[in-house]
């Protein structure tokens, strides 16, 4: 194992995944969602699923630099969303707008290093690519009462008229934070930090209790 050697390597990055014999543990590993899913209710107003072990890459660049935008598009296969609070999704790549010079790229876990490398290979100038896969996980919430749970948890207005499918907001969620994206009419993805994952899982169980919570694994 060694760092990728590039000519005049100005940054250092590496494949961070172990071989397949070593199973990574997502932030909710300890909750044993598979068992919860099996023994828990099958119907309810809210459905919860952890999209575990995905590849998360933070990308920073100058959105006014057309060359960088083009390079990022080439590496990702999809253009970066430059409209604030939006996202794009193509195939197995999704990109969330985080701030005027920041995006969160989410890919299948196994593709992380490939995408990271592609970004480094295509991009030039001042940019930052950081693999943050270990720091985040995704909670998928759906169901008839998903808006009720969100309204208990965040001050952002989640009404479809102002929070359409594809919209992304990084904001306070309960007493932690989440990158909230509407992925369907009644489906949302929350990207949450590893260290807060257990707290947010407790919070969501609690907030969903009156509607009935279905866990999928």
Partner 1 sequence: MSQKNRLQSGGRIDRSKPLTFTYNGKQYEGFAGDTLASALLANGVDLIGRSFKYSRPRGIVAAGAEEPNAIMQLGATEATQVPNVRATQQELFSGLVSSATNGWPSVENDVMGLVGKIGGKMMPPGFYYKTFMYPQSMWETYETFIRKAAGLGRSPKEYDPDIYDKVNQHADVVVVGAGPAGLLAAQTAARGGARVIIADEQNEFGGSLLSSKESVDGKAAHAWVASVVKELEANENVIVLPRSTVNGYHDHNFLTIHERLTDHIADRAPNGQVRQRYHRVRAKWVVLATGAHERPLVYGNNDVPGCMVANAVSTYINRYGVVPGNELVLMTTNDNAYRTAIDWHDAGRKVQAIVDTRKNPTGALVEAARERGITVIAGSAVIDVQGSKRVTGVSVAPISEDGSKVTGSVKKLSADTVASSGGWSPVIHLSCHTGSKPVWNEEVLGFLPGKTVQKQLTAGAINGTFNTAGALEEGKKAGLEALEKLGLSAVEVAVPATTEQKESKPMALFHVPHTKPTSQAPKQFVDYQNDVTAAGIELACREGFESIEHVKRYTAMGFGTDQGKLGNINGMAVAAKVLNQSIPETGTTIFRPNYTPITFGAIAGRDCKDLFDPERYSAMHKWHLEHGAKFEDVGQWKRPWYFPKAGESMQQALDRECLATRESIGILDASTLGKIDIQGKDAREFLGRVYSNAWAKLPVGKCRYGLMLKEDGMVFDDGVTSCLAENHFLMTTTSGGAATVLNWLEFYHQTEWPELEVYFTSVTDHWATMTISGPNSRKLLEELTDADVSKDSFKFMDWKPMTVAGVPARVFRISFTGELSFEINVQANYGMHVWEKLFEHGEKYDLTPYGTETMHILRAEKGFIIAGQDTDGSVHPYDLGMGWAVSMNKPFSFIGKRGMQREDCVRAERKQMVGIKTIDPNIVLPEGAQGVFDPTAPIPMPMVGHISSSYWSACLGRSIALGFVKGGLDKMGEKVYYPLVDGRIVEAEICSPIFLDPKGERQNV
Which residues would be at the binding site for partner 1 (CB under 8 A)?
1-3, 8-12, 14-19, 21-27, 29-30, 53, 58, 60, 101, 126-128, 130-136, 148, 151-152, 154-157, 159, 161-162, 174-176, 193-200, 202-203, 206-207, 209-210
In DSSP notation, 56-109 reads: EEEEE--TT-HHHHHHHHHHHSSPPP-STT-EEEETTEEEEEEETTEEEEEE-G
Q: How far is the CB of 141 from partner 1 (least distance, A)?
A: 16
Q: How far is the CB of 95 from partner 1 (least distance, A)?
A: 16
169 Cβ neighbours under 8 A, 6+ residues apart: 85, 156, 163, 179, 180
Total residues belonging to the chain:
217
Contact 160, 185 (CB under 8 A): yes
Beta carbon nearer to partner 1, 90 or 167: 167
Q: How far is the CB of 1 from partner 1 (least distance, A)?
A: 4
Beta carbon nearer to partner 1, 1 or 66: 1
Q: How far is the CB of 206 from partner 1 (least distance, A)?
A: 6
């Amino acid at each position: 194992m060694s760092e990728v050697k590039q000519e005049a390597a100005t940054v250092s990055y590496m494949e961070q995944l172990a071989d397949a014999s070593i199973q990574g543990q997502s932030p909710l590993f300890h909750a044993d969602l598979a068992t919860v899913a099996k023994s828990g209710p099958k119907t309810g107003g809210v459905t919860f699923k952890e999209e575990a072990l995905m590849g998360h890459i933070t990308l920073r660049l100058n959105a006014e630099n057309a060359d960088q935008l083009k390079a990022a598009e080439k590496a990702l296969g999809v253009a970066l969303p430059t409209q604030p609070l939006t996202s794009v999704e193509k195939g197995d790549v999704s990109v969330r707008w985080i701030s005027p010079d920041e995006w969160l790229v989410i890919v299948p876990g196994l593709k992380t290093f490939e995408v990271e490398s592609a970004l480094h290979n295509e991009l030039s100038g001042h940019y930052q690519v950081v693999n943050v896969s270990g720091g985040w996980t995704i909670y998928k919430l759906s169901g008839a009462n998903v808006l009720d749970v969100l309204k208990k948890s965040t001050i952002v207005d989640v009404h479809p008229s102002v929070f359409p499918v594809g919209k992304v907001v990084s904001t306070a969620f309960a007493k932690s934070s989440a990158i909230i994206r509407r992925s369907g009419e009644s489906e949302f993805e929350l990207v949450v930090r590893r260290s807060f994952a257990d707290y947010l899982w407790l919070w969501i169980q609690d907030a969903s209790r009156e509607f009935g919570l279905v866990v999928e694994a």
